[in-house]
Each structure stands twice: as structure tokens, then as C-alpha cells.
A and B are shown apart, each in its own frame.
Chain A
Amino acid sequence: MTANGWLQILVYLLAILAVTPLIGRFMTRVFARERTWLDPVLRPVERSIYRATGVDETRDMHWTEYAVAMLLFSGVSMLVLYVMQRVQQWLPVNPQKFGAVTPDLAFNTAASFTTNTNWQAYSGESTMSYLTQMAGLAYHNFASAAVGIALAIAFIRGIAQKERDSIGNFWVDLVRCTLWVLLPFCVAGTLLLVSQGVVQNLRPYDTVTPIDSKEQVIAQGPVASQEIIKEWGTNGGGFFNANSAHPFENPTPLSNFVEMFAILAISAGLTYTLGDMTGSRAHGWAVWGAMAFLFLAGVTTVYWSEARGNPILAAAGADQTTTALAPGGNMEGKETRFGLANSALFATVTTDASCGAVNSWHDSFTPLGGMVPLVNIVLGEVIFGGVGAGMYGILVFIVLSVFIAGLMVGRTPEYLGKKIQSYDVQMAMLGVLVFPLVILALTGISVLSPTFGLASLSNRGPHGLSEILYAFASGTGNNGSAFAGLNANTKWYNATIGLAMLVGRFFMIIPTLAIAGSLGRKKRVAPSSGTFPVTTPLFASLLVSVVLIVGALTFFPALSLGPIVEHLLMNHGQVF
């Protein structure tokens, strides 16, 4: 670990801190339908969309109606993407003449992009036409991100309002989010990335002969425009298989910084929006603090573990110390232009959020270094988290924290004046249950099956277990990053991970919306000094403990047979 490395990590966190109130306040205004500086341009566009679609922008929805609208929208979008992949050979803008995508892969990909997972069982550059990439996948990058943010806003409205049945209009939230929050930054970000060398064209692939005189096909396409929404909407699906490690996606340290910044900016901003809309900015900052703590714990562990390197190599005489000329540590699967600190940081950021973009291979990390991304995912991706998804995810944990805290101070638990009652606890527990149920059950079935489960696994032993566990965690958590080492483009994995993504998204959303509806109907109880305050460091640390305990207690046995035992074995000279 170097001072320079730490400085970069610190600068990154400070940038996120600085942008939090700006984006947060902006989103409050956008979703409260207050005036913003973008209105002169966007308001006419918005109006014409409503006119064309017949949406009444003043009508608010009950949470069930909101949920149905969201499900309908997602369902139809998913179907369109599935069909588009199946018929792309007949559609235009396909210079490479890619054929139809297989049904299981098309289902998996459609589920993946609809759920904001962007798990890619395929290589983009050799599977998807430019039209599929732009109209199919990139469209979902916007839509699924907007859906997530809309849901988070609906939840926050539920907390903020009192004795109201409705939690906003899904269509309005969706449109405003896309127009105001997603598009403007993407336009600016695309230009910024292009300035760094990210490609943006519609040309067929070039065939060149580099100096080693072996012919090489240079894949390219409309990358920059897709790249920025990949991070800004925490989608993570790369244009190329190598994702953000590819020089056409992420050429320079500056582009790397922009991409990492884009991943957490909205989610961090939402903590401020939470405080802003509920009238307790201090609460928003307390949640931010809890997230930042978990973020720092994660990045420290990865950085430390990767910088420490592999003791077996050290014993064999390899020099893994960091010097001015050598990055040192464990550089397997990492890009030299990013080095240890930025690889560790990217891995933490992408799994704290449900992004899944990668600039290094998590599979090649040291066991503990690789465990952190996995743990980040199974904790529910609530460390800032995916756009919107991180917010409603942490709100479920907040409900549980507040419930326990409320009992311990001798009152019926309440959260910002809303009583947390059995229905809310029930829904929160349902939301929390989805994760272990899907991840552990599917991993359990897979590791027992030598044919469909283990056949496409390249590593055995604890590392193999980590690879399968990571795949299902990534799918269920809608992360989309791959630990790799597992060929997931098989009928079994395409089907199960596809299912895991759908369950992990929508079975989480429905209980969450139910809580929002239930809280929105409640009276607001006046606060007093007998009310447990949700604005203090004590609250933040309680929240951290609840997140860690629920996650750790659930997954500790599985982790102990995966990365933990692998780490201990590595220290004793055995690797997998």
C-alpha cells in the first residue's frame, strides 16, 4: 500500500462526499416537480411524452398500482429485448452480421438488463449487433436505472408523507428520472470519455496486422455513449467482454476515475434526497456515514490483501513489494494502468453498488481480496448501492435497525415518526429472506451436480465454491459482475441465474413498496427525547451492525468453506 494509492482512494471518497448534496438536492427538486434549470429544455419534452402516452401527470398512485405499473413496464421491456435478440439477424445496423441469440441466453440477457443486473453470459463484441447494443441494451440501461430510482423515491415519499394512500405516479417518476437525472449527465459524460479515447462509431470491425504479424480483429462501435450510462445507472454491462478493463472502454486513469465516480454519485446523492424529503438532512448524512464506513472497510481490506500479495510466491523468492518501477502485490488479472489501488477501489465500488462493471478480474484477487466483493454483494448492495436499489435496500435494514433500537429504548419502534409495526417487519423480513433463499439454495444445488453444476467450472476446491456462490450472488443481487472461472453460458446457469435476477429484483421490490405504502398511510408520531434519534453516530453504527450481522450470520458458513478456508490454505502453501 502506498501513500499515493491511499490519496487516490481518499480523493475519490471526497469527490463523492462533495457531490452528494448537489445531486441529492437536485433529485428532490426533480421528483417534487419543482423548477430546475433544465426545465426550459426538458419540460416541453416531458409534456409531449405525457400527451403521446396519455399519462395524467397529476394523478398519484396507490402502492399496488405503482407496483403493477412498474411490473408491466419491466415485463414488456424485457419481452421486447428478448425478441430483439432473437431476430437481430434480420434487423439493420448489424455490420458484423451476428446471428440470432440462443433462447436461453436471450432470456438470461433480457432478464439481466431489465433487472439492472447486466450479468453477461455472452461476449458483447461477438454476439450482439450494434442495434441490439444501442436500442436493446442501452435502452434498458436507462430504463432499469430509472425504475430503481423511481422506486427509491416512492419509498422515501412513503416515509415523508402522512396519512396518504398514494406514493406518486410511476410514469412521471420514470420520465422525470430519465430526462432530468440520467440523460444530461450521460451527454456530458460521453463527451468526457471520448476525450479520453473511448471509441464512439458504427463502423465494422477493423482487421489489422500488428508488429507480431498475427492478424487481429479490432472490435469497436458506439462504446462511449453506452459506457457512461453503464456506470451512471449502475448497470455494469460492458460493450466488450473485458468490460472496463478494455482500453476502448476505460483507457486512462482519468476515465477510470470518471467511471468510478459515476457509479456511486446518484446513490450517494439519494441519501441526501432521503434526508431532504423527510425533513431530516442529518438522518440522510447518518445513512451516508454508515455507508462510507462500510465502503472504507471494504476497500481497505481489498487494497491490503492485494498489496500483500501471495505468500507462496513470496516464499518462492518473488519480490512483491511496491516500488517506483513495479506495482508489487498481486497484479494477476489487473491492468498496469490502474495498479493495485485503483483496481481495489473499482472492485469495491462496483460491488458496493449493484453495478458490476469491472476493471480487473475478481477471480484473480487473493482469497480475502476476492471475498470483499462477494461480501459486498451478499450484504445486499446497500453500501450506497445500485441507483435506487441501494436506497430501498438500506431502508429495509433501517426498518429492522429501528425496530430493534425502538424496543431497546422501551417504545413502539418508530422511524421518522412512522410506527414500525408487524406488517412492516413482516415485509422487511420477506425482503431480507430473498437473498439467502435464492443464493444459497441455487448454489447448493449447483455444487452437488457434477453434470450441469460443476461441468463448466474451471477451478475445484474452495475457489470453485466461491465462483459458483459469486455467480448466484451477483445475479440475485443484480450486480452483474462475474467472478469468472465459471462458464455461465449453459442452459442451467442461463436459466437459474436469469431466474435469480428476476426474483432478486422484483421479490425485493414488492415488499419494499408494500412498506412504503404502509408507512405512507400512517400518522406521524411527534418526536421527543424518548424517541430514538436516527441522526446520530450511534444510529449509524447500529445500522452498520445490523447490515453486517444479517449478512455475515447468513453467509458465514458458506464463506468459511470458500474464501476463508482458501485464505488459510494459501497461508499454508496451498492454492487452487
Chain B
Amino acid sequence: MSHAKQLSIWDPGIVRGAARDVIGKLHPRTMARNPVVFVVEVGSALTTVALLRDMTAGRPGLGFEIQITFWLWLTVLFANFAEAMAEGRGKAQADTLRKARTESIAKRLIGPSVGSGSNRTPYEEVPATSLRKDDVVLVGAGEFIPADGEIIEGVASVDESAITGESAPVIRESGGDRSAVTGGTRVLSDWIKVRVTSDPGHAFLDRMIALVEGAERQKTPNEIALNILLAGLTIIFLLAVVTLQPFAMYSGAPQSVFVLVALLVCLIPTTIGGLLSAIGIAGMDRLVQRNVLATSGRAVEAAGDVHTLLLDKTGTITLGNRQAAEFVALDGVNERELADAAQLSSLADETPEGRSIVVLAKERYGIRGRELADKRAVFVPFTAQTRMSGVDLNGRQVRKGAADAIGRFVAANGGAMPVNLQAIVERISRSGGTPLVVAERTRPLGVVHLKDIVKGGIRERFNDLRAMGIRTVMITGDNPLTAASIAAEAGVDDFMAEATPEDKMRLIRREQQDGRLVAMTGDGTNDAPALAQADVGVAMNSGTQAAREAGNMVDLDSSPTKLIDIVEIGKQLLMTRGALTTFSIANDVAKYFAIIPAMFSATFPVLMTLNVMGLKTPESAILSAVIFNALIIVALVPLALHGVAYRAMTAEALLRRNLLIYGAGGVIVPFIGIKIIDVVITALHLA
């Protein structure tokens, strides 16, 4: 999906598609779901009827009425267009997904299928769509996996690029935490037996397609609440406008239905009403773009509310492997000599730890990696028995390994370990590092300090999170000492050492008891209960089926830091709704100043004092307000789709900023906009 190209806002294909959908959305039953836009549609219908009546009555000079009616309909269409645009973007992504879902033939096993240890089991060929839960299928090299499932036998490399966009194949095997496979992905080598875990139509890809298309979109709790607010405001303005007519008649200035509907449409929150569903769809879309699949919009919203993030140390906070950070030479040994020996012993060591030693020696002492082939070197690889590795070269025997292993090696050669070596080893262990002792035959040289390397930039991210009021808790299997030192270095708020799944569960429960929402990532089967308990549980796509089902989101990239992105998307979604609601309501001030004087200036010319914008004529004033009201919807479509800019700061600062931009801005912008439109339509002699 990450290869699904980043679509530009005004992608011509999507705009064309959206323009087509716009008319279909005019059906009252569809419209009734959105009360604000529905009122606009009813108003437009009302003016249309009035217009037809006036036309058949042969009333001359209907230019104003025709234009008002035209722009009212356009307002409805623009609101539909915004939603269609969002859906169009979703569909474009769904189409990419659909291509992956080729209609394939599955080999369904017959009879006892497990444990044969071979791929020579009897099977029948059936269409993939006829597979049901708990069927077992055989998938060989080059074949597509027909449905979501769990490997029960075998190991294979699988190309999952169709859903993750990652082209490198991944290993999937039975048992353990990497047993889940996804329908639509392809086995590259070997064979596997897969127990199907979902009925057709409910597979991963299907759910994903439905979600991005908006077909399964259910309104989220906050969206429902906001809808109620908007409906309430609409009713209030409906009352204000409907009762204005009696007041106007009393004052001797009865108004035409065109003017009243125009006022109503300008006052009700059409901007947010028109963009609301687009914001929701776009939020989902942003998640999918980052390769996260949420089972519901509710989960996305919950992500924005999270108080506490439980983060696994490895992969999230630290790089996956330990790296050399320091050479500690023994007394009488030159540090450079130690570095040279350590590098020598690691030149053939392809493990990340080994490579990091080579790099550190080069960085610290400028010792370049040597081509060892020339020097008839003999490598001694690491084995579980010796627990050390090294090189024999020109009679030198250099070894590195755990302290006791090297101790035995040195002793076997007739040497002895100095007393202070043990002290160095202990110090490094205590600080959370791994000590790697280096020795040459009888002579211990010193210790390489391997330590967890905290990811670059992660500290800043935690600071951002803290500013947003989110606590980070590091979860690790390390001992408390190690955990504490890494926690301090990474800048997490808290840590949990020697964590068992039960500990995690307890921690989540405790946080929730105190009224905090918890988010976590997990991949193993033993993570499943915690994932289910957490308010936001993000399962790694590489994880087990159990984990994937327990969580309410799946990260297709299996990237542990994704959780932070998800929180931001959740917040951004709510912020966009709040900002546009504020903007929409703030706009009403200017519209009143445009329309009210225009309505009553014939009866009370003094009311033109309120015409602070100096709009040309009453008709041009009302028309300008209606046109502005319609155009602002389209103008804000990009904001609705991209979401308002998100910055990590405290709620207070964030609110001040957003109130300034969308509240104060919402008051000022329409004054300018309506004035400009008035100038233009007056110049064009439209009113």
C-alpha cells in the first residue's frame, strides 16, 4: 500500500469520479443522513418551486432569484463533492488492493492433513471463494495464498508486497509468532499448510477494501456527538429564520422565500456539515496510507485520547541489536591494541554486534578493516559450545566472547584472568550493557562494551508525546538495572522490567482503573490478552493470528513506532472536525452583517449602518454571502482531506492556536471574501 502512489488532492481521475457521484448523492434518503446538508437541499427545492411559480406567472427580472437558486443547489453539490472526493481517494486505494485479490484455485486437503510432514497429501482443487473457516489448504511455491489463515505445517518465504508494499520476502512458519498469512500474498519458495481463519468476504483484504471505500463506515462516537450539535444548531437557526418572517411582517418588510432560504443556508453550519464525512473518510485513508488497518473508526478516535503508550523496548526504543560502544582495556594494555584485536576477531563476524565492533574501531582509532583473505586467516565461528568466536592468524589466536568462555580459553592456553577484569565485566553488566571479553591466547586484553543503542530522534518524539500529555512506558524483558539505564537514556516516563504477559495485563488494568486510556503494540500470541484489554491495540502484521484478532488495528509494516503515528492521526481527526466547526460558526457573524441590512434596508434605510462591508446593493450582498458560503466548502476540501496541521504542544497552547486560526480567522475571512465576491459580481453586472 505504501507503493499506492500518494495521490494529489486534485488528482484528475478522482475529481472526475467525484463529479459523477455528486448527483447520485442527491437522493433524499442519502441526504437525510446529514441533517445540515439535507436542510440546504430542502431549501433549494423550496426556492426552485418558488422560482418555477414566478416564471410561470411571467414575473419579469428574476435574475437574482435564479442566481440564488443556482448557488443553493451548488452548495448541496459542493458538499456532496467533498464527500465523493474522500470516497474517491479511498476507492483508488481499494482498486490497488483489489488487483491483489486474484481469483485463484485453492488446494483443499482431504482427510487427515496434519503431521504428515510432507506436501504429498491428497487434496482437491476448489475456487478460493468456496473456502470456509477451518479448511486446510496446501500452498506451494509460486502459488497465491487463497485466504487468511495460520500455518499449521511447513515453512516458506512469502511475498507480502501486495498488502505491505515491502518487496523483500518474509519467512512464515508454523508455530511461534510468525504463523499468520494473509490471503492474496504469494509463496515464493517451499510449501506450507494453512488453516483458513476467515470466511470469504471477511478476509483481511475485503475488510480493508470496505474500510477505505467508506462502505463500512460507521459514525464514530465523537462524530455522532458533533452531528447532534450541528443538528441542534440547524434547528436553532431554522427557528431564528422562520420567526424572522413574522417580525419582518410586523415591521412592514415581509421577505421573499429566496431571501429567507438564503439567510438560513448561510447561517446553518454548512461548511462543517458538508465536510464532516469527508474528514472521517480522509482520517481512515491517512491511516491506510501509513499501512495501518483499523477495524473501526472508533479505535482511531480512541487513539487520539490515549494517555499511556506501552512500547516494547526492542525495535521501538532501541535498535534491534546491541552495538559496541566502548573499549575498556586492562592495565598494561593499550586501548588501541585492544581495539585492533577486537576488530580482527570480528572481521569475519557478520552479526550486527560483530560489524559494530569493526565500525567502532574504525571510528575511534582509525583502524581500517583489513582484507583477511591475503593473510591466510582461519576464522573460528561462534558455536553454542564454545560461546566465543575469533580468528587464527599468523600464529595469533584472537578470541572474543562471554567472560567465562574466554576465561576457559585463556586457562586452557596456560594464562590467567586478572582480578580487575571481573570488576569491569560486572560494571558493564550493571549498567545494562553486555561485556565481551577479548583475549589473545594467554593474555586477556580487555572488554568490549556492547549496549542497546537508543534510536536517533526517539527522545525528541517522547518529549513531543509528553507535551501532548501522553506517558510512555517501556516494556522489556531486561533486568531492572538495564531497563533503568535505557529508560533514562531514551527519556521514557516509566519502564517495566522483566515483564511477563501477566505484568503487562496488570499494568494496563491499573492504568485503566485510574481513568487512563492505554495503547500498545504486540505480536505474539501471549500478547493477545493485553492487546484485547488495551484501548488501542496495534498488532503487528508479522504476528500471530491471535494477536491480529485481539487488537483493534493491524500495522502492515510491523513497525513498532507506528503507534505514535496512529495517536497523531487520531488527534488530527478530531482537531480537524473541531476547527472546521468553529470556523463554520464564526463565519455567521459576517453573514449577518451582509444579509440583515440588505433584507430590511428598504424599510429601515438606517440599517445600512450595519453594512460595514459596504456591499453594493441588497441583492449583491445576499448573493455574495450565498456564493461565499458555497465556495468555502470547496476551498476547505484540501484541509478536510489533509487534516489541520498537527503540532505537539499542550492542550492549552493547541487550543489557543486553533482558536486564533479558525475562530478569529473564521470571523475575519468571510468579511474579506464576501466583499471580494461582491466587487466581482457587481463588476460582472450579476446583481
> Which residues on A are within 8 Å of B, measured CB to CB?
400, 403-413, 417, 420-422, 424-426, 429-430, 432-433, 436-437, 440-441, 443-445, 447-448, 461-462, 464-465, 523-526, 528-533, 536, 538, 542, 545, 549-550, 553-558, 560-561, 564-565, 568-569, 571-572
B441 within 8 A of A: no
B237 within 8 A of A: yes
Query: Which residue on B lies nearest to A468, using beta carbons?
Result: B250
Listed by A's residue number, 13 A-B pairs whose Cβ atoms lie within 8 Å are: A404-B582, A409-B654, A410-B304, A412-B222, A413-B222, A433-B239, A530-B470, A542-B655, A542-B659, A553-B240, A553-B588, A554-B237, A557-B244
Bound Cα distance A441, B243 (Å): 6
Q: Report whether B241 and A525 are in contact in the complex, using a CB–CB cutoff of 8 Å.
A: no
Q: Report whether B470 and A433 are in contact in the complex, using a CB–CB cutoff of 8 Å.
A: no
- How many A-B pairs with Cβ below 8 Å? 216
Bound Cα distance A462, B468 (Å): 52
Not counting A420-B225, A532-B651, A561-B600, a sample of 6 additional A-B residue pairs whose C-beta atoms are within 8 angstroms of each other reads A412-B574, A440-B240, A528-B470, A550-B236, A553-B237, A558-B240
Q: Report whether B571 and A408 are in contact in the complex, using a CB–CB cutoff of 8 Å.
A: no
In the assembled complex, the CB of A387 is this many whole angstroms from the nearest CB of chain B, namely: 27
Query: Which residue on B lies nearest to A442, using beta carbons?
Result: B243
Q: Report whether B225 and A421 are in contact in the complex, using a CB–CB cutoff of 8 Å.
A: yes
Q: Report whether B247 and A530 are in contact in the complex, using a CB–CB cutoff of 8 Å.
A: no
Q: Report whether A403 and B225 are in contact in the complex, using a CB–CB cutoff of 8 Å.
A: yes
Bound Cα distance A531, B607 (Å): 44
Q: Report whether A407 and B515 are in contact in the complex, using a CB–CB cutoff of 8 Å.
A: no
Bound Cα distance A565, B224 (Å): 40
In the assembled complex, the CB of A545 is this many whole angstroms from the nearest CB of chain B, namely: 7
B592 within 8 A of A: yes
**Given contacts A526-B514, A553-B267, A554-B240, is CB(A533)–CB(B232) below 8 Å?**
no
Bound Cα distance A408, B592 (Å): 25
Most interface-central of A412, A441, A443, A558 (chain B CB within 10 A): A412
The proximity string for B residues 208-238 relative to A, scoring 1 for CB distances below 8 Å and 0 otherwise, is 0000000000000110111011011101110
Q: Report whether A400 and B596 are in contact in the complex, using a CB–CB cutoff of 8 Å.
A: no
B118 within 8 A of A: no
In the assembled complex, the CB of A161 is this many whole angstroms from the nearest CB of chain B, namely: 13
The proximity string for B residues 571-587 relative to A, scoring 1 for CB distances below 8 Å and 0 otherwise, is 11111011101100110
Query: Which residue on A lies nearest to B597, using beta carbons?
Result: A560
Q: Report whether A530 and B236 are in contact in the complex, using a CB–CB cutoff of 8 Å.
A: no
Most interface-central of B228, B248, B466 (chain A CB within 10 A): B228
Q: Report whether A411 and B247 are in contact in the complex, using a CB–CB cutoff of 8 Å.
A: no
In the assembled complex, the CB of B34 is this many whole angstroms from the nearest CB of chain A, namely: 16
> Hey, which chain A residues are within 8 Å of B235, CB to CB?
433
> Which residues on B are within 8 Å of A, measured CB to CB?
221-222, 224-226, 228-229, 231-233, 235-237, 239-251, 263, 267, 301-302, 304-305, 307, 466-471, 514-517, 570-575, 577-579, 581-582, 585-586, 588-589, 592, 596, 600, 604, 606-607, 609-610, 646, 650-652, 654-656, 658-659, 662-663
> Hey, which chain A residues are within 8 Å of B245, CB to CB?
444
Query: Which residue on A lies nearest to B643, using beta carbons?
Result: A410
> Hey, which chain A residues are within 8 Å of B655, CB to CB?
405, 408-409, 532, 538, 542
Query: Which residue on B lies nearest to A407, using beta carbons?
Result: B578
In the assembled complex, the CB of A546 is this many whole angstroms from the nearest CB of chain B, namely: 9
Bound Cα distance A448, B242 (Å): 13
In the assembled complex, the CB of B250 is this many whole angstroms from the nearest CB of chain A, namely: 4
Q: Report whether A530 and B651 are in contact in the complex, using a CB–CB cutoff of 8 Å.
A: yes
In the assembled complex, the CB of A332 is this many whole angstroms from the nearest CB of chain B, namely: 22
> Hey, which chain A residues are within 8 Å of B467, CB to CB?
529
Q: Report whether B652 and A536 are in contact in the complex, using a CB–CB cutoff of 8 Å.
A: yes
In the assembled complex, the CB of B232 is this many whole angstroms from the nearest CB of chain A, namely: 3
Question: Looking at the complex, which one of B236, B470, B581, B651 makes contact with A409 (CB distance below 8 Å)?
Answer: B651
> Hey, which chain A residues are within 8 Å of B515, CB to CB?
417, 523-526
Bound Cα distance A405, B577 (Å): 11
Q: Which 3 A-B pairs have the closest CB atoms?
A: A530-B469, A407-B578, A410-B571
> Hey, which chain A residues are within 8 Å of B662, CB to CB?
408
Question: Looking at the complex, which one of B577, B586, B588, B651 makes contact with A531 (CB distance below 8 Å)?
Answer: B651
Bound Cα distance A542, B588 (Å): 17
**Given contacts A410-B572, A411-B571, A411-B574, is CB(A557)–CB(B663) below 8 Å?**
no
> Hey, which chain A residues are within 8 Å of B573, CB to CB?
410
Question: Looking at the complex, which one of A403, A430, A524, A533 makes contact with B651 (CB distance below 8 Å)?
Answer: A533
Q: Report whether A433 and B240 are in contact in the complex, using a CB–CB cutoff of 8 Å.
A: no
> Hey, which chain B residues are within 8 Å of A556, CB to CB?
240, 592, 596
Main secondary structure on B side of the interface with A: helix
Query: Which residue on B lies nearest to A528, using beta carbons?
Result: B469
Bound Cα distance A448, B246 (Å): 6
In the assembled complex, the CB of B307 is this many whole angstroms from the nearest CB of chain A, namely: 6
Q: Report whether B581 and A421 are in contact in the complex, using a CB–CB cutoff of 8 Å.
A: no
> Hey, which chain B residues are within 8 Å of A400, CB to CB?
229
Q: Report whether B585 and A549 are in contact in the complex, using a CB–CB cutoff of 8 Å.
A: yes
Q: Report whether A529 and B243 are in contact in the complex, using a CB–CB cutoff of 8 Å.
A: no
Bound Cα distance A538, B659 (Å): 10
In the assembled complex, the CB of A471 is this many whole angstroms from the nearest CB of chain B, namely: 14
Bound Cα distance A461, B249 (Å): 11
Query: Which residue on B lies nearest to A569, using beta carbons?
Result: B606
**Given contacts A441-B243, A557-B596, A560-B610, is CB(A410)–CB(B225) below 8 Å?**
no
Most interface-central of B243, B301, B579 (chain A CB within 10 A): B243
Bound Cα distance A514, B604 (Å): 45
Q: Report whether A407 and B606 are in contact in the complex, using a CB–CB cutoff of 8 Å.
A: no
Q: Report whether B575 and A409 are in contact in the complex, using a CB–CB cutoff of 8 Å.
A: yes
Most interface-central of A406, A432, A571 (chain B CB within 10 A): A406
> Hey, which chain B residues are within 8 Å of A433, CB to CB?
232, 235-236, 239
**Given contacts A560-B607, A560-B610, is CB(A422)–CB(B652) below 8 Å?**
no
Q: Report whether A407 and B226 are in contact in the complex, using a CB–CB cutoff of 8 Å.
A: yes
> Hey, which chain A residues are within 8 Å of B240, CB to CB?
436, 440, 553-558
Question: Looking at the complex, which one of B248, B304, B650 makes contact with A412 (CB distance below 8 Å)?
Answer: B304
In the assembled complex, the CB of B245 is this many whole angstroms from the nearest CB of chain A, namely: 8
Question: Looking at the complex, which one of A429, A448, A532, A572 makes contact with B652 (CB distance below 8 Å)?
Answer: A532
Bound Cα distance A346, B584 (Å): 37
In the assembled complex, the CB of A565 is this many whole angstroms from the nearest CB of chain B, namely: 5
Query: Which residue on A lies nearest to B572, using beta carbons?
Result: A410
> Hey, which chain A residues are within 8 Å of B244, CB to CB?
557-558, 561
> Hey, which chain B residues are within 8 Å of A413, CB to CB?
222, 225
**Given contacts A426-B228, A557-B241, is CB(A408)–CB(B658) below 8 Å?**
yes
In the assembled complex, the CB of A280 is this many whole angstroms from the nearest CB of chain B, namely: 15
> Hey, which chain B residues are within 8 Å of A417, CB to CB?
515
Q: Report whether A407 and B652 are in contact in the complex, using a CB–CB cutoff of 8 Å.
A: no
Q: Report whether B604 and A569 are in contact in the complex, using a CB–CB cutoff of 8 Å.
A: yes
> Hey, which chain A residues are within 8 Å of B228, CB to CB?
422, 425-426, 429
Question: Looking at the complex, which one of B574, B604, B656 makes contact with A410 (CB distance below 8 Å)?
Answer: B574
Bound Cα distance A555, B596 (Å): 12
Q: Report whether A411 and B305 are in contact in the complex, using a CB–CB cutoff of 8 Å.
A: yes
In the assembled complex, the CB of B571 is this many whole angstroms from the nearest CB of chain A, namely: 3
Q: Report whether A443 and B243 are in contact in the complex, using a CB–CB cutoff of 8 Å.
A: yes
Q: Report whether B575 and A407 are in contact in the complex, using a CB–CB cutoff of 8 Å.
A: yes
> Hey, which chain B residues are within 8 Å of A406, CB to CB?
574, 578
Q: Report whether A538 and B600 are in contact in the complex, using a CB–CB cutoff of 8 Å.
A: no
**Given contacts A421-B221, A545-B663, A571-B606, is CB(A529)–CB(B575) below 8 Å?**
no
**Given contacts A412-B221, A530-B470, is CB(A445)–CB(B514) below 8 Å?**
no
> Hey, which chain A residues are within 8 Å of B470, CB to CB?
528, 530
> Hey, which chain B residues are within 8 Å of A530, CB to CB?
307, 468-470, 650-651
Bound Cα distance A422, B307 (Å): 22
**Given contacts A530-B651, A554-B236, is CB(A410)–CB(B249) below 8 Å?**
no
Most interface-central of B250, B267, B302, B610 (chain A CB within 10 A): B250
Bound Cα distance A315, B328 (Å): 98
Q: Report whether B514 and A561 are in contact in the complex, using a CB–CB cutoff of 8 Å.
A: no
In the assembled complex, the CB of A551 is this many whole angstroms from the nearest CB of chain B, namely: 10
> Hey, which chain A residues are within 8 Å of B305, CB to CB?
411-412
Query: Which residue on B lies nearest to A558, using beta carbons?
Result: B247
Q: Report whether A411 and B659 are in contact in the complex, using a CB–CB cutoff of 8 Å.
A: no
Bound Cα distance A121, B240 (Å): 27
Bound Cα distance A149, B241 (Å): 35
